[in-house]
């Protein structure tokens, strides 16, 4: 039987297990990336593991999430990251240089290689045929030290693309259509492999918009085959020698298949406040728009901003609508400036920003109260923009720009009819991505020998081995789709404590219940209870580490998001699945006792656990974990587990 493209790359990197859906496999990692909000922990953990040099072909540290250095804590973090990259042998991308996925795509993404990154949108370079997966930082630290990355072999789903995009429909509409059909849970434990005649009509940056936002489907990764478009893109970046042809076998068998006819697509938009609330733009026309933002790792490339600039040429945005453009990389920014497009946009009234994640996580350009913001980003979870009652819509740069011109949501096709000189800008690549470079410091650049740790940078807390008895209060009961933004918000005022776990922990789940952290500390252990898809969103391991620090012992949820579940194992928290009826019956404040000898049961492979509630009734909960995950959990988390393994030789 032939192989899918995913299977071919995995096969090339397989160090343990077999490529059978649901089976745990260990794979060798060629490249790793990390960014500033997750990177400090990655390097602190790398140091705690006693490792002294990066073992992967390439490791890259980006500073992109918190580039506005509001106070010394951010600056100290960046200085620490520079010292860690230099000390251990990683590339270092300065603040202002751009978003990790954009800069990585432009400089390092390579077909056929594996990439592990401590950021949930790591799958972005799947658009160039790279198998890229997001994970917690501890997994990145271990992979960087030469350890395998373990994952359950996902289902491989074939997304067959047919036809070509009509005018005004874009790659963003392809992934919004996927979200409309499949929902934010539709990709869990899946890799989407795009094939079919429609692939060749899409350029690499269009493909990476699709693979980037596959994360919003909950997917493990998304990948395109390579072809002339890939070779051409690499050549324009001056990296043609890195091209490798990669196609699935003709008789490859997929676990599932769906078809999208690109020619049927129209401009789409995700309404507040979930990326899968997708409707045609024409259905929400007329809504007044206060703010428009173009940028992010989804649509922040030169090629994404150029259509907006063309639409704004010799025009002005509406006086009551603010428009911000934040390029994804310094290179994109510099190219647009050199070609005169930045001046054109500024003349139209655009507020031009540095290359940063920034507003995507509520750092800068926070929408006004009771206002509407249209963004080309990938997430619109409630409160992520920095204000609780936000109304953030997600759309393509073309739809966003049309709204800035009109002052309200408008289907750009209708705006084009109204203005009669507005033409569809199309999608263009520059002749060469040259003359502008991302300033990346190589591992060979000299650095002082010592790691530079400011006063806000502390050690990583460790957890003891799992106890035989697990008992405590259900400290918080939550609904479905709790995100890592709910658990540890990524806003500036909170995330600046990312290297200071005791302080950061004070904010744990504060967006759900601001008494939680103190109650957890006071109660000496306890549990979280949640509905479906607990922990969706970013790869932020603080979302497991901070509950661990507060003494949380386990989470009872109807289901878990993939990366977060891995993070729970990595920090020694017991993730138990419960059914809907039991979820309904548990109340916040109930006494929870896992009846079995937990440590023994976890190590021995026991799947069903009896949980007694209020000494009154019992439920059966399931632990779905591999042998390796059980060992990690029982040892008190991956750091303790890895150290223990190293100590025992
Ligand atoms: Fe940055 Fe937002 Fe992407 S935080 S990495 S631009 S999802």
Burial string for 343-352 (b: 16+ CB within 10 Å, else e) reads: ebbeebbbeb
Q: How confident is the model at residue 493 (pLDDT cuts 50, 70, 90)?
A: confident
Q: Where in the chain is the domain with CATH 3.30.499.10?
A: 5-264, 268-419
- Does domain 5-264 fall under CATH 3.40.50.1820? My reply is no
Q: Tell me which residue has its CA closest to atom 1 in ligand 1.
A: 357
Q: Where in the chain is the domain with CATH 3.20.19.10?
A: 470-647
User: What's 470-647's CATH class?
Assistant: alpha beta
C-alpha span between 83 and 179 (Å, rounded): 40
pLDDT, position 556: 98
Q: What percent of the chain has pLDDT over 90?
A: 90
Residue 530, pLDDT above cutoff 70: yes
The mean pLDDT of 386-408, rounded to a whole number, is: 97
pLDDT, position 166: 98
pLDDT, position 645: 84
C-alpha span between 311 and 577 (Å, rounded): 50
Closest ligand 1 atom to residue 100 Cα is 5
The mean pLDDT of 46-52, rounded to a whole number, is: 91
Q: Cα of 357 to ligand 1 centre, how many Å? A: 5
Closest ligand 1 atom to residue 360 Cα is 2
Burial string for 30-53 (b: 16+ CB within 10 Å, else e) reads: bbbbbbbbbbbbbbbbbbbbebee
pLDDT tens readout for residues 251-293: 999 999 999 999 999 999 999 999 999 999 999 999 999 999 9
The mean pLDDT of 464-478, rounded to a whole number, is: 94
Contacting residues for 128 by C-beta, under 8 A, at least 6 apart:
105, 109, 110, 111, 204, 207, 208, 224, 226, 230, 233, 234
C-alpha span between 646 and 48 (Å, rounded): 12
Single pTM value for the model? 0.94
pLDDT, position 649: 66
Which residue among 98, 117, 121 is best mutated to probe the pocket of ligand 1, counting the most ligand atoms within 8 A of its Cβ? 121
Q: Cα of 394 to ligand 1 centre, how many Å? A: 14
Interface confidence: ipTM more than 0.90: yes
Residue 492, pLDDT above cutoff 80: no
C-alpha span between 131 and 210 (Å, rounded): 14
User: What's 268-419's CATH class?
Assistant: alpha beta
Give the Å distances, CA to CA, from 547 to 130, 471, 574, 582: 34, 16, 12, 23
The mean pLDDT of 98-109, rounded to a whole number, is: 98
Q: What average pLDDT does the structure give for the chain?
A: 95
Q: What percent of the chain has pLDDT over 70?
A: 100
Q: How confident is the model at residue 111 (pLDDT cuts 50, 70, 90)?
A: very high
Q: Cα of 252 to ligand 1 centre, how many Å? A: 34
Q: Tell me which residue has its CA closest to atom 2 in ligand 1.
A: 360
Task: Using DSSP, state whether 526 is helix, strand or coil.
Answer: strand
The mean pLDDT of 406-422, rounded to a whole number, is: 97
Which residue among 99, 100, 118 is best mutated to probe the pocket of ligand 1, counting the most ligand atoms within 8 A of its Cβ? 99
């Amino acid at each position: 039987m032939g192989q899918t493209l995913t299977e071919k790359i995995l096969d090339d990197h397989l160090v343990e297990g077999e490529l059978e859906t649901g089976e745990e496999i260990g794979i060798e990692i060629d490249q790793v990336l990390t960014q500033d909000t997750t990177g400090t922990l990655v390097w602190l953990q790398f140091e705690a593991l006693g490792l002294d040099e990066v073992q992967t072909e390439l490791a890259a540290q980006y500073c992109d999430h918190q580039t506005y250095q509001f106070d010394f804590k951010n600056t100290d973090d960046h200085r620490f990251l520079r010292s860690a990259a230099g000390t251990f042998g990683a590339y270092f991308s300065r603040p202002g240089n751009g978003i990790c996925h954009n800069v990585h795509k432009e400089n390092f993404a390579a077909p056929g290689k594996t990439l592990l990154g401590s950021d949930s949108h790591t799958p972005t370079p799947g658009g160039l045929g790279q198998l890229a997966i997001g994970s917690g930082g501890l997994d990145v630290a271990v992979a960087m030290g030469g350890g395998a990355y373990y994952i359950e072999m996902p289902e491989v789903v074939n997304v067959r693309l047919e036809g070509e995009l009509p005018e005004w429909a874009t790659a963003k509409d392809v992934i919004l259509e996927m979200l409309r059909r499949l929902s934010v849970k539709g990709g869990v434990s899946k890799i989407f492999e795009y094939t079919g005649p429609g692939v060749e009509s899409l350029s690499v940056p269009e493909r990476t918009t699709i693979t980037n936002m596959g994360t919003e489907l909950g997917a493990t990764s998304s990948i395109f085959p390579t072809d002339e478009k890939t070779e051409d893109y690499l050549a324009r970046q001056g990296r043609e020698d890195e091209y490798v042809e990669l196609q699935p076998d003709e008789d490859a068998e997929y676990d599932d298949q769906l078809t999208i006819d690109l020619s049927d697509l129209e401009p789409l938009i995700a309404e507040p406040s979930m990326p899968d609330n997708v409707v045609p733009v024409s259905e929400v026309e007329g809504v007044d728009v206060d703010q428009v933002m173009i940028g992010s790792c989804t649509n922040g490339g030169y090629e994404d901003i150029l259509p907006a600039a063309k639409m704004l040429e010799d025009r002005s945005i509406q006086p009551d609508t603010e428009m911000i453009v934040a390029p994804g990389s310094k290179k994109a920014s510099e190219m647009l400036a050199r070609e005169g497009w930045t001046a054109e946009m500024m003349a139209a009234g655009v507020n031009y920003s540095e290359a940063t994640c920034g507003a995507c996580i509520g750092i800068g350009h926070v929408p006004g109260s009771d206002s509407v913001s249209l963004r080309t980003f990938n997430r619109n979870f409630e409160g992520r923009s920095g204000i609780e009652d936000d109304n953030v819509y997600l759309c393509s740069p073309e739809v966003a720009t049309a709204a800035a011109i009109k002052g309200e949501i408008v289907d750009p096709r209708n705006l084009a009819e109204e203005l009669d000189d507005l033409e569809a800008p199309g999608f263009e690549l520059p002749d060469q991505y040259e003359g502008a470079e991302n300033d990346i410091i190589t591992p060979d650049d000299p650095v002082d020998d010592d790691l530079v740790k400011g006063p806000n940078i502390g050690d990583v807390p460790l957890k003891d081995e799992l106890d035989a008895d697990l008992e405590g209060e259900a400290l918080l009961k939550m609904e479905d789709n709790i995100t890592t933004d709910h658990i540890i918000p990524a806003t500036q005022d909170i995330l600046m404590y990312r290297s200071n776990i005791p302080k950061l922990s004070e904010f744990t789940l504060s967006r759900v219940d601001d008494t939680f952290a103190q109650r957890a500390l006071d109660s000496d252990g306890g549990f979280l209870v949640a509905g479906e898809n607990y922990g969706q969103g970013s790869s932020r391991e603080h979302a497991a580490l901070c509950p661990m620090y507060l003494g949380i012992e386990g989470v009872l949820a109807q289901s878990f998001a993939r990366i977060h579940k891995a993070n729970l194992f990595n920090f020694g928290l017991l993730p138990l699945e419960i059914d809907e009826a039991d979820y309904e019956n548990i109340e916040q404040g109930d006494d929870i006792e896992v009846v079995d000898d937990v440590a023994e049961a976890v190590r021995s492979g026991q799947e069903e656990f009896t949980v007694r509630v209020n000494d009154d009734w019992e439920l059966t909960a399931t632990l779905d974990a591999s042998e390796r995950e059980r060992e990690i959990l029982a040892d008190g988390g991956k750091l303790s587990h890895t150290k223990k393994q190293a100590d025992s030789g």
